[in-house]
Amino acid sequence: MAELRGPIVDVGETRSVSTQYGERDLAEVTLRPERGQAEPVTLTLWGKWSETAEYTQTGMEVLALGVEREEFRGEIQYATAGDSRIVIEPDYLVNVTDVRSWVQCPRMHYLNTLSGVPLNYPVVKGTVVHEVFSDLLRGGEVEAAIDDRVAEVGLDLGLLDRDADEVRKDVSDHARAIDGWLSQGTLEGGDEWRSEQTLISERYGLKGRADAVRRGAPVELKTGKNTNSEPRFQDKVQVACYALLLDERGEPPDTGTLLYTKNAALDRNEESGDLSPAKDFSLNEGLLDYVLRERNHLAAMAVAGEIPTGYEANATCNYCFEQDTCMVVSGRLDQESKAGRIGEAIPEEERNYFERFYRAIEAERGAVHDEYAKLWTQTATERADADRALIDLEPVGKKEVDGRWELRARCSDPVSKIREGDVVLASDGHPVRGNAEMARVVSMGEEIVVTADEPVELRRLDVYPSEIGADRMLTALHDALLAGDEDQKDVLIDRRDPVFRDVEETFIDNNPAQDRAVRRAVGADDCALIHGPPGTGKTYTIARTVRALVERGERVLLSAFTNRAVDNALDALRDQGYDEFVRVGTEHGVREDIQEYRLESRGDPDERAAELREASVVAATTASCGSRIMREGSFDVAVIDEASQLTEPATLAAVALADRFVLVGDHQQLPPVVQSADAAGTVETTEHGDDSADDGTTGATTATDGSGVVASGTANGTSRTAGDVADLSRSLFERLIETHPEAAVLLDTQYRMAQRIQAFSSNEFYDGRLRPASPDIAAQHVADLPEVTSDALPDRLQERVSFVDPDGTARGNTNPAEVTAVAEIVEAYAAAGVAREDIGVIAPFRAQAAAIRRELPAVTVDTVDRFQGSAKEVIVVSFVATGDLDSPIFEDFRRVNVALTRAKKALVLVGDRDALATDERYARMVEWAE
């Protein structure tokens, strides 16, 4: 038996042949193995595996397990045998629950990801019952668990107008079934349990979280009823997926259990059929192979960027709950659909908009999947070097706190992308092959502290990629275009110009530009844009705008990309004497002094729902705007900060909740972070090598109308043309300010920088329109700081702007000579009396920032990107590069605008003069600074 892996170079037709076993289907695929001979080899797919050929395309990766190797006329050939398994695109990690819904109906699966599952009672109740189940497995007491878990979803229940007592009664029926079944197990001599196990399979390309594993066999809880003797098919499919995941660990279970908790609550007199809640069934090879083939089909279509029609499965549309939605969406988007279409299609320009962004979002999802694959394609050391993991941790303790586990470990060099509050994979050595659990980072100090549902020997932490960004962008695109207001769409699609009313009132006395901005926002019938360069009082203007809107009786949604910006805006609002707002967000996302305004989900349903419904200002990140809770709401105006850092679909998450919107940002500072930037933004013209399987297929299959057959074997692997895919790195703010400059107001008065410091930025980025707010601000100097004696500084540092070339050499992304020079400069300022907290150090690379940070305790040292939005009296910038500026980090000159505009009184640029001179923009900067 052999194992074979590589990209497919040719897919043959499926045909039928007669064999000694009767008529059998077969299909031949040709692939180029990764190892061994370089020549392509033929793999014959027999029987059911031949179906694979129907949806598999050239360029896709195939993994053939347990295939037979034979020599035929001097040529080596492979063929599937009795226990062979074929995996298509094994590096594409598919969710177990997605396989479940795919098996029900591929079209339903598509609709779920497109529109998201809205807030509804069965789902909330299901979640509660699952949590109670989990509590009971951990030894909790039934009544306490029910009370606690029902209270936890108070907000959801309130929004659904449900009464807590009735829900408790409802849940306790289910809980009794679980409890009864569990005690049965105990009577039989005790079970070995593992609850909520996170499982990832690199071999089958699957991931999921099993409700429970009992004696090595998967147990899945369902809160629906099932009075048939057999479990529901899609439920078995889900359990079979968990079995595949366990199988990879070398312990294939032979039975699975489905626990239908509603059965126990049914009236035995009225219901007929099998009312026992627990149904065991055997996990035979046939089922596992079937599940894998469905997973393959899903992965192949996802990688090819194809949209399911429903014909891929034999589901019956008549019985489907989603039939109406399915027909409406198919009709509106003019998509082929098994259920058929009703209604009229949205106009062509809207469909184009939808399709362009759909593809861009899916490309972004693809980039997330590439990150998943790195969990096993990179070695521990490679991941640590790429800052994606902390390895070789030394576990120092674990204890149970409030039903969760607190895990501690020591780390000799805690430099990585992982930060406090992040969701990570905690493992005992390997995130996939070892024992791993999802965990939340609590602190990254002397000791690393994380919390998880299950205790894990904490030896390694890995960045855990999340598709939530792509998910939220997609539902926002759906909401804005398919459920959105026609009037708003006219402006978004650019069918008409935005309309403004004149507003006479004065809102801000001493700053005409800010006042104009508020009047523009208040008088906007559709949208307004506030362009705020560094230090121009954006946050103040936002707060004043929100107040002005509230005074007019409007309900306002206040949003931004980051939690920090949302909280800053609320802080400013509070400073202006207004605090009738509600903050929606996770506990760890919201700043400490804003926690008191945070909407708790726990509590009395009516009270919680009223808090949200009655607030005239609700504040949340755009990601939260796409949450189930927020999507229930509606607003008159959305005011969105950091809009130039948001992708267009991310902006839509907030925009779609309101009639009008105000975007605040600065497109001359950093654009949105897009992982798939190369694929979605600039069109690549470079030749692709053997590793271009993903790019080739996604790129080529751009047509979604059925005509999109992959152009196999094209010279460079992609047939994408410019403009075909929407650019996620261009914000809605930037697009609108270019098409509708009349909607924008530039805040031209800055309160931050000395004239000398602001000059370069003003000329390079703002047509020289930026001006200091007062002579004092223009003339400020480091000697103005209390305790500072200017004479104590070296001559050079007495200048407001200076340039230092320490003549160093870059080593990777660090420059040791610059580390030393920066430390000396900072110490010189400190020695002259500048408080350490008034000094900031900025570097382009995380590695350099970390190296400087080690030398300079109590000084803020960070990357440019993370410094955006804040300022210091004194700023030292380390450019790192020597030789040339070839790293992509130097490409976007807007990053320099951010770095140079953080300083109030003194700015020191540290870099290699010659390297910087290789780019004319950087050369101008050096000339200005010297």
Partner DNA sequence: ACTCTGCAAAGAGGA
Calpha distance 627→585 (Å, rounded): 10
Calpha distance 435→453 (Å, rounded): 13
Distances (CA, A) of 838 to 21, 823, 829, 858: 82, 15, 10, 10
- The single-letter DSSP state of residue 725 is S
Residue 255: beta bridge partners?
A: 282
State yes or no: residue 122 binds DNA (CB under 7 A): yes
* Contact set for DNA, span 417-436 (CB under 7 A): 417, 419, 422-423
Q: How far is the CB of 136 from DNA (least distance, A)?
A: 15
The region of 114-122, 300-308, 494-502, 741-749 touching DNA under the rule CB under 7 A is 114-122
Q: Which member of 24, 48, 168, 232 binds DNA (CB under 7 A)?
A: 232
The region of 15-23, 91-99, 507-515, 596-604 touching DNA under the rule CB under 7 A is 91-99
Nearer to DNA, 196 or 515 (CB): 196
Q: Which member of 255, 586, 790, 820 binds DNA (CB under 7 A)?
A: 586
State yes or no: residue 621 binds DNA (CB under 7 A): yes
Site string for DNA, 507-546 (x = CB under 7 A): ----------------------------------------
Q: How far is the CB of 465 from DNA (least distance, A)?
A: 7
Residue 630 belongs to what H/E stretch? helix 628-631
Site string for DNA, 46-85 (x = CB under 7 A): ----------------------------------------
CB 448 within 8 A of CB 394: no
**Structure token pair of residue 424:** 């990570």
Distances (CA, A) of 50 to 11, 44, 45: 11, 8, 5
Residue 592 CB contacts under 8 Å (≥ 6 apart), including other chains: none
- The single-letter DSSP state of residue 203 is T
State yes or no: residue 211 binds DNA (CB under 7 A): yes
State yes or no: residue 123 binds DNA (CB under 7 A): yes
Nearer to DNA, 554 or 648 (CB): 648
Handedness of CA 115, 121, 122, 124 (dihedral sign): positive
Q: Which member of 52, 104, 113, 201 binds DNA (CB under 7 A)?
A: 104
Calpha distance 703→351 (Å, rounded): 13
Nearer to DNA, 409 or 620 (CB): 620
Calpha distance 200→198 (Å, rounded): 7
State yes or no: residue 114 binds DNA (CB under 7 A): no
State yes or no: residue 223 binds DNA (CB under 7 A): yes
Give burial (CB, 10 Å; 0-12/13-18/19+) of 784.
Answer: middle
Q: Which member of 191, 370, 606, 678 binds DNA (CB under 7 A)?
A: 678
**Structure token pair of residue 209:** 């979280």
Nearer to DNA, 788 or 810 (CB): 810
Type of residue found at 133: F
State yes or no: residue 125 binds DNA (CB under 7 A): yes
State yes or no: residue 257 binds DNA (CB under 7 A): no
Calpha distance 214→218 (Å, rounded): 6
Q: How far is the CB of 604 from DNA (least distance, A)?
A: 20
* Contact set for DNA, span 262-321 (CB under 7 A): 262, 316, 319-321
The region of 163-171, 572-580, 652-660, 862-870 touching DNA under the rule CB under 7 A is 862-870
Q: Please, what's the b/e burial string for 786-810 (b: 16 or more CB within 10 A of its CB; e: otherwise)?
A: eebeeeebeeebbbbbbbbbbebeb
- The single-letter DSSP state of residue 737 is H
Q: How far is the CB of 828 from DNA (least distance, A)?
A: 26
* Contact set for DNA, span 438-477 (CB under 7 A): 438, 453, 464, 466-469
Residue 749 CB contacts under 8 Å (≥ 6 apart), including other chains: 511, 513, 514, 536, 537, 771, 772, 773
Q: Which residue spans within 635-752 are E strands per DSSP?
A: 635-641, 658-665, 744-746, 749-750
The region of 45-53, 499-507, 572-580, 622-630 touching DNA under the rule CB under 7 A is 622-630
State yes or no: residue 869 binds DNA (CB under 7 A): no
* Contact set for DNA, span 342-371 (CB under 7 A): none
Nearer to DNA, 123 or 683 (CB): 123
Q: How far is the CB of 598 from DNA (least distance, A)?
A: 11
The phi and psi torsions of 903 (rounded to 5 degrees) equal -90, 140
Residue 133 CB contacts under 8 Å (≥ 6 apart), including other chains: 175, 178, 195, 211, 212, 221
Nearer to DNA, 62 or 167 (CB): 167
Binding-residue total with DNA (CB under 7 A): 77
Q: How far is the CB of 93 from DNA (least distance, A)?
A: 10
Residue 173: beta bridge partners?
A: none
CB 887 within 8 A of CB 919: no
Q: Which member of 14, 42, 77, 127 binds DNA (CB under 7 A)?
A: 127
Nearer to DNA, 182 or 491 (CB): 182
Rg of the chain (C-alpha set): 30
Nearer to DNA, 28 or 642 (CB): 642
State yes or no: residue 207 binds DNA (CB under 7 A): yes
Nearer to DNA, 453 or 734 (CB): 453
Q: Which member of 887, 914, 921, 923 binds DNA (CB under 7 A)?
A: 887
Calpha distance 634→649 (Å, rounded): 18
Handedness of CA 250, 251, 256, 259 (dihedral sign): negative
Q: Which member of 383, 660, 846, 872 binds DNA (CB under 7 A)?
A: 846
State yes or no: residue 585 binds DNA (CB under 7 A): yes
Nearer to DNA, 262 or 489 (CB): 262
Residue 223 belongs to what H/E stretch? none
* Contact set for DNA, span 474-503 (CB under 7 A): none
State yes or no: residue 21 binds DNA (CB under 7 A): no
Start-to-end Cα distance in the chain: 70
Alpha helix positions (H), 138-265: 142-152, 154-159, 164-187, 233-247
State yes or no: residue 576 binds DNA (CB under 7 A): no
State yes or no: residue 673 binds DNA (CB under 7 A): yes
Distances (CA, A) of 111 to 108, 118, 842: 5, 12, 45
Q: Which member of 11, 96, 237, 643 binds DNA (CB under 7 A)?
A: 96
State yes or no: residue 902 binds DNA (CB under 7 A): no
Q: SS3 of 5, please?
A: strand
State yes or no: residue 378 binds DNA (CB under 7 A): no
Tokens 């990629």, located at residue: 465
The phi and psi torsions of 744 (rounded to 5 degrees) equal -105, 150
Tokens 């509708």, located at residue: 740
Q: How far is the CB of 98 from DNA (least distance, A)?
A: 7
State yes or no: residue 562 binds DNA (CB under 7 A): yes
Residue 607 belongs to what H/E stretch? helix 605-614
The region of 20-28, 221-229, 758-766, 798-806 touching DNA under the rule CB under 7 A is 221-229
Q: How far is the CB of 795 from DNA (least distance, A)?
A: 33
State yes or no: residue 383 binds DNA (CB under 7 A): no
State yes or no: residue 692 binds DNA (CB under 7 A): no
Nearer to DNA, 642 or 764 (CB): 642
* Contact set for DNA, span 707-726 (CB under 7 A): none
Q: Which member of 44, 50, 238, 511 binds DNA (CB under 7 A)?
A: 238
Q: What is the largest CA-CA distance in the chain?
A: 99
The region of 42-50, 93-101, 300-308, 776-784 touching DNA under the rule CB under 7 A is 93-101
User: Count of CB atoms within 10 A of residue 715's CB?
Assistant: 8
* Contact set for DNA, span 793-822 (CB under 7 A): 812-813
State yes or no: residue 130 binds DNA (CB under 7 A): yes
Nearer to DNA, 624 or 749 (CB): 624
